[in-house]
Homo-oligomer: A and B are copies of this chain.
Amino acid sequence: MTSSASKSWLLLLGFILFYVIYLLLGALVFSSIERPVEDKLRNDIQTMQREFLNQTCINATALEEFLVKALSASEYGVSVLKNSSLNSNWDMASSMFFANTLVTTVGYGHSTPLSDMGKAFSILYALIGVPFTMLVLTASVQRLMYPLVYAPQALFQRSGLDPRPASQLHFALLLAAVLLCLFVAPAFVFRAIEGSWSFLDAVYFCFMSLCTVGLGDFVPGEQPGQKYRSLYKVVVMVYLFVGLMMMYLLLRAFHKMADLHGLTSLLELPHCEEPEGDLRPILGDGPTDTGPPPPGPLHHRAATKQPLEPAAQPSYNTISKG
């Protein structure tokens, strides 16, 4: 690995470290703003429930009043039920989980800030956090494009495939790997841990999360009496981060394949940007590579961006056989 490549990975490590610190800071602030408000709401609703139960006869109006309060508390994630989770929505792990769903734009909304201060801080936090998370994800994918996209495609090409079939085969394999590792396997795990989820529920959760839709009808770690809840929440956060990264990588690989097949040009859409990373090893390595030596560290983009006529598009592929 060249020194520029290790510098590049060090930069990424710095990004990820800063990302974790940002989440921890967010968790600290959300927890300190929202926890007292949540406690107050929980006490209020419990008092109201006791008063309601102390009445001698059932009164439709009293029930309605109590229900208004109970349902609105439930919207903020505070339940009146006895066997509901006694965990706060704003302890450190849950606050960090909330911060994470904000910056990744998943936004389940199973617990939302109650106070104006919490709402204002959410805006500020997402304003910085969302672009920064996009940056970290982009930087991660940028560094993973070589080992997970260019290298395997080059391998297929060296074993005799043309660029287009090579990219198709690679995409199919990548898709299968992503489906298996990010949807099917996690769904089995979630079904096992979350007692009430069916397998469909678990797949639906994985899909809605990794598309950043985040409907929030299924959220892990919210059932009463779950062990190691904080650790579980952290693991789900890591799953979300890796999952989003791989979804983005899949999108980039698809985008490259679409470029190669002339689809992006046909629909007049932007082309996939080539990474500027450490591509020389593979270019200089193959027995079929007989091109002139590259003029500089950025030779690759210049070389691949020049042939722009549609007919020349197969050579668009970074790892063309020359």
Contact = CB atoms under 8 A, between A and B. Distances in A.
Interface of A: 8, 11, 49, 52-53, 55-58, 60, 63-64, 67-68, 70-71, 74-76, 79-82, 101-102, 105-109, 112, 116, 119-120, 122-123, 126-127, 130-131, 135, 138-139, 142-143, 198, 200-201, 203-204, 207-208, 211-217, 251, 265, 267-277, 296, 298, 301-302, 305-306, 308-309
A217 B71 CA distance: 12
The count of identical subunits is 2
5 contacts: A11-B267, A49-B63, A55-B58, A126-B213, A305-B305
B52 A81 contact: no
B67 A60 contact: no
A204 B119 contact: yes
3 closest A-B pairs by beta carbon, nearest first, are: A107-B213, A270-B273, A109-B215
Contact of A268 (B8, B81, B82, B216): B8
A25 to B, nearest CB: 18
Given A142-B268, A212-B105, A309 B298 contact: yes
B215 A212 contact: no
A45 B281 CA distance: 66
A105 B211 contact: yes
Contacts of A55: 58
Given A102-B213, A139-B269, A198-B116, A68 B81 contact: yes
Q: Which of A102, A105, A108, A215 has the most CB of B within 10 A?
A: A215
Given A52-B58, A216-B109, A302-B305, A67 B70 contact: yes
A135 B75 contact: no
A212 B107 CA distance: 8
A175 B101 CA distance: 25
Nearest to A302: B308
A208 B126 contact: yes
Contact of A142 (B71, B116, B269, B302): B269
B212 A212 contact: yes
A135 B207 contact: no
A271 B216 CA distance: 34
Given A102-B213, A112-B215, A81 B71 contact: yes
Nearest to A70: B67
A123 B301 CA distance: 37
Nearest to A124: B207
A315 to B, nearest CB: 13
A192 B70 CA distance: 27
A215 B102 CA distance: 9
Nearest to A203: B123
B214 A269 contact: no
Contact of A213 (B80, B105, B275): B105
Contact of A126 (B70, B119, B211, B216): B211
